[in-house]
């Protein structure tokens, strides 16, 4: 007697990303609730399971959902504004004024479109790094959009207790204890929301926006609550300049001295690293978020990711916010993650396609501490996956599924997306919300926000594109 399940996907080429990197030709996958019950050859799964809903995936490849472990979802607000600037100038001219002027409703729609693009490019888990806005309604709005999108996610709340001299607006600055109390309130309210899809973490904006007491307080709360800590680290040489000015030591030694580093610490960027920095990361088993496109966009440099990976540190890849990438396309990021390392080392073999996919799946899951739930397909894991249909000129012809996904696939190939057992997109169409209406709302929000924040003046001598 076959066992009843909720969803069966049949006749797919399944790229499991399990420990042996098994690939199942003509494979099937059975889902009950939010978990994978079984996967194997279609004939075997067909004989053992029946389902109310069946997706016939002949000709498609099925991959575990990608993890985008660093983004600022609200930054769709600054997409297309203030490009081609160094990062310190860009945050002051564009990002801070926008963040300071944004209403909760604008934050909701702008976050939602960022989430939709993550889903369209195969990401099923995101780690959002939300700025330290004092207004709790802005945090609630971003969390609501993240939940409504259907994504799995970790919402991290930034602590910024210094840096007024660097242009950080007063609406985004508060004593660490106050910000940490708010993060704990968010954890109490939202951790486990969306049927367990959401959890809450802590974020440290950047070294030049923290006091020493603030750094120590973040570690204390992380230890007490189990929340992870993520932080922008050495994206540009300025981090070390500022740390030297304040404390007479570089950023990473300062983080080590204040107890911030640890296996629950996810360091973002890590472009400008000394041998001492790398040694400290190894000692503290720090995880790294690699943002290839953002690093290229801002001209930050090439992070020594191959070297960090060789030390056994968990590496995940990420888009960063749409302000310093101009999109949330995880497939583009997957490709550039491999390419940028090849350029840096002048060695085409230093990152293979399989390695890039590993960073986007297993590595990201390990970095976020979610390796028991996502990042590979196996019985008991969360049912987070997507189906790729290769029939576009960009992808065809295909031979090897991993090579195609990393180097030739685009959003047009992502046909079906399932998160926590829920089919969010089928045949390229979102089933749970009105995508076109969401895009209209986001466009409207971005226009009115740019006017209010004064960033519209950056467009003074250029034509404005108004699609609606
Ligand atoms: Zn960032």
Q: Residue 80 Cα, ligand 1 centroid: separation in angstroms?
A: 17
| Residue 59 confidence (pLDDT) | 98
Please, what sign has the CA dihedral across residues 277, 279, 282, 284?
negative
Q: Residue 232 Cα, ligand 1 centroid: separation in angstroms?
A: 6
Q: Residue 10 Cα, ligand 1 centroid: separation in angstroms?
A: 39
Q: Residue 84 Cα, ligand 1 centroid: separation in angstroms?
A: 16
Q: Residue 156 Cα, ligand 1 centroid: separation in angstroms?
A: 12
**Is the confidence at residue 161, as pLDDT, over 90?**
yes
Mean pLDDT of 394-410: 98
Q: Residue 278 Cα, ligand 1 centroid: separation in angstroms?
A: 20
**Is the confidence at residue 460, as pLDDT, over 80?**
no
Class of domain 3-64+376-427: mainly beta
**Is the confidence at residue 166, as pLDDT, over 90?**
no
The four Cα atoms 217, 367, 207, 93 give a dihedral, to 10 degrees, of -120
Higher pLDDT, 338 or 467: 338
Q: Residue 134 Cα, ligand 1 centroid: separation in angstroms?
A: 19
Q: Residue 195 Cα, ligand 1 centroid: separation in angstroms?
A: 27
Cis peptide preceding 269, ω within 30 of 0: no
% of the chain with per-residue pLDDT over 70: 100
Provide the whole-model pTM: 0.98
The domain segmentation of the chain, as residue ranges, is: 3-64+376-427, 66-368
| Residue 167 confidence (pLDDT) | 81
Residue 468 binned pLDDT confidence (cut-offs 50, 70, 90): low
- In angstroms, rounded to a whole number, what is the distance separating the alpha carbons of residues 262 and 255? 10
Q: Residue 129 Cα, ligand 1 centroid: separation in angstroms?
A: 7
**Is the confidence at residue 87, as pLDDT, over 80?**
no
- For 448, the token pair is 């009115």
Mean pLDDT of 422-449: 97
Residue 221 binned pLDDT confidence (cut-offs 50, 70, 90): very high
Only one residue has tokens 């740390």, namely 243
Burial 289-302 (b: 16+ CB within 10 A, else e): bbbbbbbbbbebbe
**Ligand 1 ion: nearby residues, β-carbon < 5 Å:** 320
| Residue 458 confidence (pLDDT) | 79
**Is the confidence at residue 459, as pLDDT, over 80?**
no
| Residue 456 confidence (pLDDT) | 85
| Residue 91 confidence (pLDDT) | 83
- For 381, the token pair is 């894991």
Q: What is the pLDDT of residues 46-66, one digit of tens each?
A: 999 999 999 999 999 999 999
Q: Residue 461 Cα, ligand 1 centroid: separation in angstroms?
A: 29
Q: Which of 102-106, 171-175, 286-290 has the lowest mean pLDDT?
A: 171-175
Mean pLDDT of 258-263: 98
Mean pLDDT of 120-124: 98
Q: Residue 391 Cα, ligand 1 centroid: separation in angstroms?
A: 34
Across the strands, what pairs with 51?
A: 5
Architecture of domain 66-368: Alpha-Beta Barrel (3.20)
Q: Residue 196 Cα, ligand 1 centroid: separation in angstroms?
A: 25
Return mean pLDDT, the chain: 96
Q: Give the largest CA-CA distance in the chain.
A: 72
Mean pLDDT of 373-385: 98
| Residue 465 confidence (pLDDT) | 86
Q: Residue 458 Cα, ligand 1 centroid: separation in angstroms?
A: 22
The four Cα atoms 95, 97, 100, 102 give a dihedral, to 10 degrees, of -80
Higher pLDDT, 378 or 460: 378
Residue 290 binned pLDDT confidence (cut-offs 50, 70, 90): very high
Q: Residue 287 Cα, ligand 1 centroid: separation in angstroms?
A: 15
């Amino acid at each position: 007697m076959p066992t009843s399940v909720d969803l069966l996907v049949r006749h797919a080429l399944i790229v499991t990303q399990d420990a042996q990197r098994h690939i199942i030709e003509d494979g099937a996958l059975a889902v009950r609730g939010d978990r994978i019950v079984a996967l194997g050859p279609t004939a075997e799964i067909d004989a053992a399971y029946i389902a109310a809903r069946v997706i016939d995936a002949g000709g498609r490849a099925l991959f575990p959902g990608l993890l985008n472990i660093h983004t600022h979802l609200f930054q769709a607000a600054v997409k297309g504004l203030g490009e081609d600037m160094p990062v310190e100038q860009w945050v002051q001219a564009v990002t801070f004024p926008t963040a300071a002027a944004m209403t909760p409703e604008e934050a909701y729609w702008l976050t939602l479109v960022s989430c939709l693009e993550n889903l369209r490019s195969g990401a099923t888990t995101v780690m959002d790094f939300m700025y330290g806005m004092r207004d709790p309604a802005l945090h609630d709005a971003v969390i609501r959009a993240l939940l409504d999108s259907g994504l799995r996610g970790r919402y991290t709340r930034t602590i910024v207790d210094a840096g007024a001299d660097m242009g950080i607006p007063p609406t985004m600055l508060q004593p660490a204890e106050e910000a940490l109390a708010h993060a704990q309130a968010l954890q109490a309210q939202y951790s486990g929301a969306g049927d367990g899809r959401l959890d809450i973490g802590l974020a440290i904006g950047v070294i030049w926006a923290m006091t020493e007491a603030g750094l120590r307080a973040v570690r204390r709360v992380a230890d007490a609550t189990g929340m992870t800590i993520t932080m922008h680290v050495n994206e540009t040489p300025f981090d070390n300049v500022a740390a030297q000015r304040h404390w007479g030591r570089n950023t990473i030694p300062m983080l080590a001295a204040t107890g911030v580093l640890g296996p629950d610490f996810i360091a973002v960027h890590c472009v400008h690293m000394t041998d001492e920095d790398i040694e400290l990361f190894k000692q503290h088993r720090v995880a790294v978020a690699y943002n290839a496109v953002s690093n290229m966009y801002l001209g930050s440099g090439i992070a020594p990711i191959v070297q960090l990976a060789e030390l056994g540190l968990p590496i995940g890849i990420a888009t960063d916010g749409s302000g310093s990438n101009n999109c949330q396309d995880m497939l583009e990021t997957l490709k550039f993650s491999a390419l940028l390392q090849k350029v840096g080392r002048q060695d085409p073999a230093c990152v293979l396609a399989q390695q890039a996919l590993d960073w986007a799946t297993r590595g990201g899951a390990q970095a976020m501490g979610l390796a028991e739930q996502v990042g590979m397909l196996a019985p008991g894991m969360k049912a987070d996956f997507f189906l790729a249909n290769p029939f576009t000129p960009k992808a065809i012809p295909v031979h090897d599924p991993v090579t195609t996904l990393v180097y030739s696939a685009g959003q047009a190939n992502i046909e079906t997306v399932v998160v926590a057992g829920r089919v969010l997109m089928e045949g390229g169409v979102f089933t749970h919300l009105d995508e076109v209406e969401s895009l209209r709302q986001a466009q409207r929000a971005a226009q009115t926000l740019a006017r209010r924040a004064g960033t519209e003046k950056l467009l003074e001598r250029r034509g404005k594109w108004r699609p609606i």
